[in-house]
A and B are shown apart, each in its own frame.
Chain A
Amino acid sequence: MRHIPPSAGRRLRALAAVAIATTLLAASACGGDSGGASSSADGGKVTLRFTWWGSDTRTKLTQQVIDAYQKDHPNVTIKGEFGEWSGYWDKLATTVAANDAPDIIQMDEKYLREYADRGALLDLKKAQGLDTGKFEKDTLSAGEFDGGLYGLNAGINSFAIVANPAVFKAAGVAIPDDTTWTWDDFARISAQISTKMNGKAWGTGAIGTNEAGLNLWARQNGESLWTQDGKLGVSPEKTTDFFKYVVKLRDMKAIPSAEFTSQDMNAPLDQSAMATGKLAMSFIWSNQLVAFSKASGQELKLLRIPSADGKASDNGSYYKGSMFWSISSRSKHQKEAAEFVNYLANNTGAGNILLAERGVPPNTEIRSAVTPKLQPADAASAKFIQDIGTELGDPSPAPPVGGGQVEKIIQRYTTEVLFGRQAPDAAAKAFLDEVNGELK
């Protein structure tokens, strides 16, 4: 009666999404009482609500920044609301639907478009007091679509390969030159490690456990997982090639068994095969390097994603926003909210507290100020982001509404292919059909 089964979270989210749409419609009919006008309260007390998800470390750091900001702005009170990932989205959906959204929202790429398309987020281009002049080129576009900026990049990420030097050493294999390696090299080296380690460890985790792998594969072939106007942009042929490569890795024994991989997909980070030293390499987001290093107790290394032709500049890498700052379109204090977001993004003091906990700062000045203070793993991922800066392809469009499900879907089809239950071409077709069905 009281208990909500795990699957209910999804149902609720879908339901709340419907509710968001309806309430927003209703609310917009009543006229915009929430515009910037009411925020002109000169000297008046303003209370902003600021919500984020994340670990306890993040909460402590963020609270320090809030305290520092309040000291400089005695008329502003900021109330932090935080929670862990899955509860965060249920709660946000409910509060937004009920027209009681927090003013400043930490947003994820997966849901950014979903909220923005329904008019729940403010176009930050129109916000006063927010300066993006110092941001590195291309880092803004991740939160930009339909001519508006709905999420301000809060930290840069890039899809990468994480390597465990200890496993390489145990296998007697040298860490390859990641600026020139190809997918064939990657498969060969991984297979070599698996053979040498003989069941104690494997060369690499499977590609295809994350949609970013397919996106990079598509980008290397002149396509892209999503198009700018929010559709699927990858063709069945390239998706088939992708799944064929998954099969190739399996047949060469470059990756662990299908059973092992499917279990590993669902393991929490600190119990995953990479963190427990059973893999020499795996696919991760660069800001996860810290967590993986901590969990494995090893000094892990980031490598570039292989390319088809051995040129790192052709591997399709892009800067992803690890997360975003968004402002509620119904906020009564949009100006103050924008000023606070500006502080988070552009103030050196804030940067020195937050460091790279949310990803490498996109503001180049903050980044150079912060870099010397970083812990080794953070510094390594910051250096990686800096190094690949000259090799990037075009920015990757944000996923469309409904695109948030694609990770689960691709994991399922990768599992099907690994177990040999579906041929690559059949899996590719079914995968694309299912993703298309999710898009509205």
Chain B
Amino acid sequence: MTTETLHRSVAARRTSPVTWARIRPLVIHVVLAGSALVMLYPVIWMVVSSLRPGNEIFREPGILVKDLRIENYRLGWNALTEPFTRYLLNSAAVVLGAILGNLVSCSMAAYAFARLEFTGKKFWFAIMLLSIMLPIHVVIVPQYILFSHLGWINTFLPLIVPKLLATDAFFVFLMVQFIRGIPRELDEAARIDGCGKAAIFLRIILPLMVPALATTTIFTFIWTWNDFFSQLIYLTDPHMYTVPVALRGFVDSTSSSSWGSMFAMSVVSLVPVFLAFLVGQRFLIKGIATTGIK
């Protein structure tokens, strides 16, 4: 009798956790989907606004499009001094240069910090970390003076060449952390087989650090693509403008702005970033999870 009641009460107590366990994922998903929708609302609103006639954009708070117009895209593409293709190509050139520069230089610097022994290694590593914390405003004027003396203003060089010198310390740090996770035994085995330092880097380390390289590629892509300030400062000729600089041409706070065209072109400029993330997302998570960077 007593055991039976005990059983029953246990069973009763158990049923509520069981139903909870079934409901819980549902609740979590609803909450997550809801938050995602809230987060995405500005983007959705932008996409919708790009499909609206300009004078309706701020009059209609909702996100339902009544009549779909693509004229903003047509107008926006040709509204500035150059067709928008030019700005996309310019941005692409800067981004490609920056990615290549970062991949080559940061991986080499990271290998040196992680595996090689040299005097003052700890000191230089600290300096490198400190340079992550240096705000761009501190260095922009001296850098500008330097580049203007070199005659590089209004070229892509100030945006690309520094990347070849492993100036993006964040990526160096990321790769150092990754290389430290690769077992040293692999290096030693390669050494026994007759590999020098360069060969170890090229044949052992580099193939193993693909996730870190992918992370670097994606971050460099997104950051350079969205970078406004340095591109604004160094590119003066409208033929050289990149997407973020060109986008600002649609808005002028002292007169009326063509919001429709700006939203349309913003959507266009988001597409590459979105694609890059979609393709690279797998590597991105892998790269971050394995490098210990939170």
Contacts and interface: CB of A to CB of B under 8 A. Distances in A.
B148 A98 contact: yes
Contact of B137 (A11, A59, A80, A99): A11
A100 B79 CA distance: 30
**Interface range on chain B (Cβ under 8 Å from partner):** 35 or more
Given A2-B227, A94-B144, A15 B137 contact: yes
B135 to A, nearest CB: 8
Contacts of A56: 79-80, 249-250, 258
A198 interface: no
A124 interface: no
A82 B252 CA distance: 12
Contact of A94 (B233, B238, B252, B259): B233
Binding site secondary structure of chain A: helix
A79 B253 contact: no
B254 interface: yes
Contacts of A16: 141
Interface in A62-117: 63, 79-87, 90-91, 94-95, 97-100
Q: Which of A23, A54, A94 has the most CB of B within 10 A?
A: A94
A291 interface: yes
A84 B252 contact: yes
Contact of B141 (A19, A83, A84): A19
B248 interface: yes
Q: Which of A15, A55, A81 has the most CB atoms of chain B within a 10 A radius of its CB?
A: A55
B252 A54 contact: yes
A79 B236 CA distance: 9
Interface in B250-290: 250-259
B177 to A, nearest CB: 16
Contacts of A79: 236-237
B3 interface: no
A81 B245 CA distance: 12
B256 A55 contact: yes
A53 B252 CA distance: 8
A298 to B, nearest CB: 13
Contacts of B58: 270-271
Nearest to A275: B256
A246 B248 CA distance: 35
A300 to B, nearest CB: 13
Nearest to B143: A98
Interface of A: 1-4, 8, 11-12, 15-16, 19, 23, 49, 51, 53-56, 59, 63, 79-87, 90-91, 94-95, 97-100, 268-271, 276, 288, 290-291, 294-295
Interface of B: 58-59, 79-81, 132, 135-138, 140-141, 144-145, 148, 153, 170, 223-224, 226-229, 232-233, 236-238, 245, 248-259
